[in-house]
Copies of this chain bind each other. A is one copy, B any other.
Amino acid sequence: DLEGGAPDNVAVQDPYANEPKRHRSLVVRTDKPFNAEPPLELLAATPLTANDFFYIRNHLPVPHVNATTYKLRVEGEGMRAVELTLKDLQTKFKKHTVAATLQCSGNRRAELNSVKAIKGLTWDTGAIGTAEFAGVRLRDVLQYAGLDAESDQAVQHIQFEGLDSDVSGDCYGASIPIEKAVSPFGDVLLAYEMNGRALPLDHGFPLRVVAPGITGARSVKWLSRIIASKEESKSHWQQKDYKSFSPMVDWDNVDWSSAPAIQETNVTSAIVSPSPNDSIEGPTDVVSVKGWAFSGGGQAVIRVDVSADGGATWTSAELNPVSGKTLRRAWAWTLWEAEVE
C-alpha cells in the first residue's frame, strides 16, 4: 500500500525518510517518530484547532496509503469477515460529524516532571486539540458485519490495528471497551475527514478511529483492521504503556498487568494566556485569563473557577463549550475566560 511505487534507496535505509511536511511553527518533541505540539499562544485561540496546528503524536513512521486500493478489514467473534474500501465507507454508510477533542495521555507531563522526574515525552500543555471529524459510526460498521453485542457477551473489546509498523512488521494497535464501541451515545467514528478536509497524512489518512472522550492513544490512525474480541489489544501500547500507577511504582518494579489500560480521561484544565512568567504592565488591576478545560467520557465541564490569591476568592469563568449545552456527549473541550482581580 505504499504510495508512488517502490521506495527509493534512502527510504530503505531510514524508515523515516518519507515523513510528511509539517508546519514549521510546531514545537517538536521528537523527530523520529515525529511528535510535536503547537505554540501555546495558538492553542485554544479558536474553538477548533487548525489541522496544521493539531498536535502530532506518532509512534512509528507515517505510512503512505493509496486511498484507491485501501481496504479496511473487519472481523472477529460473532461477525462475518468484511472488507470495505474507502468508497464503500463513504457511500454505503451514513456520514456523521463529531466535534471531538483528542489528547495525548502524556499531555502536561512537563508539569509532572517539575514535581518528580518521570519517563515519556515532555509535553507542555499543547498535546491536545479539537477538530470536527466526519466519517461513519463504528457501531454501524460493526452492525453491518453482524455484531450483536447485547446478545453476544463474548465480545468485550474492539481492537484496532494501524498500517504504521516497526522494522519487524509489528503494527500499532489499541482497543476500546465494547460499551463505548457500540453505544448509540458513544459517537465513535471511523473518520475520513478532519475539519472538512481529507485526513492529513500525520493524522491517519485515509481512515482513523476517533473515540471521543477516550485517551488519544486508542484512536488508531491509518486504520487497517478492526477485530471484535474477548480480549484487549495485545499491543505494547495497550499492555505496557498508557497505564498509571502508585507513586511508589517506577520502571524498575512495575507490574504492567496490575493496572488497567487508560480509557476515559480525567478532567483537566490549563491556562493558555497569560503565559507562565509573563509580566503584566500598566495600571490595570484586572487580568484577563484564558484557557481550556476538558473531561473524558463525554462529561461536560460545568464550571471553571479561577483564583489569583491561593484560593481565598474565586471567579467563575465564562464558558464556551464547543459541544454546546450537552452534558453527557460533550466530546469537545470548553474554552473559558475570566477577569481576575
Contact = CB atoms under 8 A, between A and B. Distances in A.
B314 A246 contact: yes
Interface string A232-256: 0000000000000111100000000
A305 interface: yes
A183 B313 CA distance: 41
Nearest to A316: B246
Interface residues of A, number: 28
A150 B247 contact: no
Contacts of A150: 184
B247 A305 contact: yes
A327 B175 CA distance: 14
A248 B177 contact: no
Instruction: Name, among A179, A305, A313, the residue most crowded by chain B CB atoms within 10 Å (CB to CB).
Output: A179
Contact of A179 (B185, B259, B260, B264): B185
A302 B185 contact: no
A314 B329 CA distance: 36
Instruction: Name, among A149, A184, A263, the residue most crowded by chain B CB atoms within 10 Å (CB to CB).
Output: A184
A260 B302 contact: yes
12 contacts: A149-B184, A150-B184, A177-B328, A179-B183, A179-B185, A247-B314, A248-B305, A248-B313, A248-B315, A259-B302, A259-B303, A260-B302
Given A179-B183, A248-B315, 16 more contacts: A149-B184, A150-B184, A179-B328, A179-B329, A183-B183, A245-B303, A246-B303, A246-B314, A247-B314, A248-B313, A259-B302, A260-B300, A260-B327, A263-B327, A264-B299, A297-B297
User: Which 5 residue pairs spanning A and B have beta carbons closest together?
Assistant: A179-B185, A246-B316, A150-B184, A246-B305, A247-B314
